[in-house]
Amino acid sequence: MPATPQPRPTILSIEPYVGGESKLPGVNRIVKLSSNEGAFGPPPGARAAMAEAAAEMHRYPDGSATALREAIGKRFGLDPARIICGNGSDELIGQLVLSYGGEGTELVMSAHGFIMYDLAGRYAGCRVIKVPERDLQPDVDAMIAAVGPRTRLVFLANPNNPTGAMLPASEVERLRAGLPADVLLVLDAAYAEYVTRDDYDAGAKLVDAGTNTVMTRTFSKIFGMGGARLGWAYAPAPVADVLNRVRGPFNVNAPAMAAGIAALAEPAWVERSVAHNTEWRGRLSETLRGLGIKVHPSEGNFILADFGTPARAKAADAAMRQRGLIARAVAGYGLPHCLRITIGTAEECGMVGDALAAGFARADG
Ligand SMILES: *Cc1c(COP(=O)(O)O)cnc(C)c1O
């Protein structure tokens, strides 16, 4: 055997990311509820802006994303100089880990935290420490206790995917206060817009309060623009400086930026999406509970349904698939008895309830 190039050893411990499924053989109408993409698709203005931008596709984009950063800053009341845009927030998560982590360092996350932190941590060569939870809630004291002298990064998705769990602002502040000053806390607020509890803060306050907390956000969920790949981070000046050094010079494409600016100009569209999500997240949760299925409280645009056993979860998945409904299996998160189901349109939520009612009636009879 001739010698072949070998990657760093930790690279081969990474399982390739598997996105939510989108096809079922033999089923005509597919309802994709596997990637939390937003019930209504992209806002009309964003579609139009992207189409218009197509004519200028031969031009390189503005590498500093000035207009988009200003639009984000205005909408959320943040300093545009400390906003960094990315090709999805996943890109920024990866760059934070590569910049602050690496071989010989540790990254701390909650046991059922978003899987990207694990993947990015391995890519960078970090030891990834997953801290046990209590009833799928991040345990702040245990996370603080897990931090050692090699820990460089702590990740918290708030609300978390796939559990839907949310920590109140006071708990996130307690986490920050319990971490050493030189540990970077990354607050991933991909689902911030969907939160209805009033004890929530997405993280900007903590970013502004020091030099060691970053907040990441995305256009992929509430704005329905996952395919455009657009995310951003709000960071203290030294962290913003690091991200601006390491990101690709043209990491965000021009059509996506145009669409993002247009989407921010349609707040009513977002309000409608939030109202819809709140209503149907509640209704679908109640329907499932009525069928004897445990549903974890969720502050996102999805619910985590707990069927008790992997076999029952498989049966539920099969009943939904028969009707074209694709949920997300979360065995990779150590939750083989659960399915994550995105809140779709009213009709789609009704289809989920019907499929599970039929599936369980059959299983019981
Ligand atoms: C979907 C998701 C993201 C990724 O968002 P992109 O901006 O599309 O890369 C980040 N964090 C969490 C918790 C998510 O669920």
pLDDT digits (tens, 9 = 90+) for 147-160: 999 999 999 999 99
Q: What is the reported pLDDT for 17?
A: 83
Question: 161 in ligand 1 pocket by Cβ < 6 Å?
Answer: yes
pLDDT-derived band of residue 23, with 50, 70 and 90 as boundaries? confident
pLDDT in tens, 266-295: 999 999 999 999 999 999 999 999 999 999
Q: Please, what is the Cα angle at 239 between 118 and 225, to 5 degrees?
A: 60
pLDDT at 1 over 80: no
How many Å lie between the centroid of ligand 1 and the Cα of residue 364? 37
Question: 87 in ligand 1 pocket by Cβ < 6 Å?
Answer: no
Cβ neighbourhood burial of 80 (10 Å; 0-12, 13-18, 19+): middle
pLDDT at 78 over 80: yes
Q: Which residue has the tokens 């597919």?
A: 30
How many Å lie between the centroid of ligand 1 and the Cα of residue 229? 10
pLDDT in tens, 314-350: 999 999 999 999 999 999 999 999 999 999 999 999 9
Q: What is the reported pLDDT for 19?
A: 80
Residue nearest to atom 3 of ligand 1 (CA): 190
Atom of ligand 1 lying closest to residue 86 CA: 7
* DSSP designation for 319: H
pLDDT at 12 over 50: yes
How many Å lie between the centroid of ligand 1 and the Cα of residue 102? 22
pLDDT in tens, 208-233: 999 999 999 999 999 999 999 999 99
pLDDT at 363 over 60: no
User: Which amino acid belongs to residue 263?
Assistant: A
Q: Where are the alpha helices (DSSP H) in the chain?
A: 44-53, 66-76, 89-100, 115-124, 140-146, 169-178, 204-209, 237-246, 254-264, 267-290, 310-322, 346-364
Atom of ligand 1 lying closest to residue 221 CA: 1
Rounded distance, CA 138 to CA 144, Å?
11
Contact 107, 143 (CB under 8 A): no
- Per the model's pLDDT, the better-predicted residue between 182 and 18 turns out to be 182
How many Å lie between the centroid of ligand 1 and the Cα of residue 225? 11
Q: What is the reported pLDDT for 18?
A: 81
Q: What is the reported pLDDT for 324?
A: 95
How many Å lie between the centroid of ligand 1 and the Cα of residue 17? 13
How many Å lie between the centroid of ligand 1 and the Cα of residue 220? 7
Question: 188 in ligand 1 pocket by Cβ < 6 Å?
Answer: yes
What are residue 341's phi and psi, to 5 degrees?
Answer: -120, 120
Atom of ligand 1 lying closest to residue 160 CA: 13
Q: What is the reported pLDDT for 9?
A: 83
Q: What is the reported pLDDT for 362?
A: 52
Question: 90 in ligand 1 pocket by Cβ < 6 Å?
Answer: yes
Rounded distance, CA 154 to CA 120, Å?
13
Q: Which residue has the tokens 């055997």?
A: 1
Contacts of 50-56 spanning 24+ positions with Cβ under 8 A: 50/228, 50/255, 50/256, 50/258, 50/259, 50/262, 52/258, 53/254, 53/255, 53/257, 53/258, 53/259, 54/255, 56/254
Question: 189 in ligand 1 pocket by Cβ < 6 Å?
Answer: no
Average pLDDT over the chain, rounded to an integer? 95
Rounded distance, CA 168 to CA 182, Å?
23
pLDDT at 176 over 80: yes
How many Å lie between the centroid of ligand 1 and the Cα of residue 294? 25
Atom of ligand 1 lying closest to residue 229 CA: 8
Q: Which residue has the tokens 């996350």?
A: 109
pLDDT at 140 over 60: yes
- Per the model's pLDDT, the better-predicted residue between 20 and 214 turns out to be 214
Question: 155 in ligand 1 pocket by Cβ < 6 Å?
Answer: no
- Distance in angstroms between the alpha carbons of the first and the last residue of the chain: 59
How many Å lie between the centroid of ligand 1 and the Cα of residue 219? 9
Average pLDDT over residues 2-16: 87
Query: Would you say how long the chain is, in residues?
Result: 365
Atom of ligand 1 lying closest to residue 89 CA: 7
Atom of ligand 1 lying closest to residue 219 CA: 7
pLDDT-derived band of residue 361, with 50, 70 and 90 as boundaries? low
Give the rounded percent of residues in the chain with a pLDDT score beyond 70. Answer: 98
Residue nearest to atom 14 of ligand 1 (CA): 190
Contact 269, 159 (CB under 8 A): no
Residue nearest to atom 11 of ligand 1 (CA): 190
* DSSP designation for 186: E
pTM beyond 0.85: the answer is yes
- With H, G, I as helix, E, B as strand and everything else as coil, classify residue 113: coil
**Partners of residue 266 on adjacent β-strands:** none
pLDDT at 365 over 70: no
